[in-house]
Amino acid sequence: MGGCEISHQKAIVMFKIVIKPNAETDATKAAIWYNIQRERLGEEFLLAFEAKLNEIQLNPNQFFTVYKNLKRAFLKRFPYGIFFIIDYDTIYILAIVHTSRNPKTWKKRK
């Protein structure tokens, strides 16, 4: 009836993900360890890591803030947390840490 339509669509922000070298090393070491435990388990770990990165990229603010602007997302099936920060439109992956390890061991990473 001659009225105007209002769109209720949300703007989708696509975050860029940057995996810091130390975090990449964390993931590689974990995958190697899992492959030693059982053939192809390391590949399954990396798939779980990739899936969680996709989740983080779509909605990083759904994850718990552990300290100031540092957030943590847990992998499914594997006892690891991904620690990251958001800087404007970029997500920086700082570490992938086994949940039994003290996170202070890597807190000096930049």
Total-model pTM: 0.83
Contacts of 110 (CB under 8 A, 6+ apart): 20
Q: What is the DSSP letter of 6?
A: -
pLDDT digits (tens, 9 = 90+) for 55-99: 999 999 999 999 899 999 999 999 999 999 999 999 999 999 998
pLDDT digits (tens, 9 = 90+) for 4-45: 555 556 666 689 999 999 999 999 999 999 999 999 999 999
Selected from 1.10.10.10, 1.10.150.530, 3.30.2310.20, 3.90.870.10, the CATH number assigned to the domain covering 16-99 reads 3.30.2310.20
Task: Kindly list the domain boundaries of the chain, sorted by start residue.
Answer: 16-99
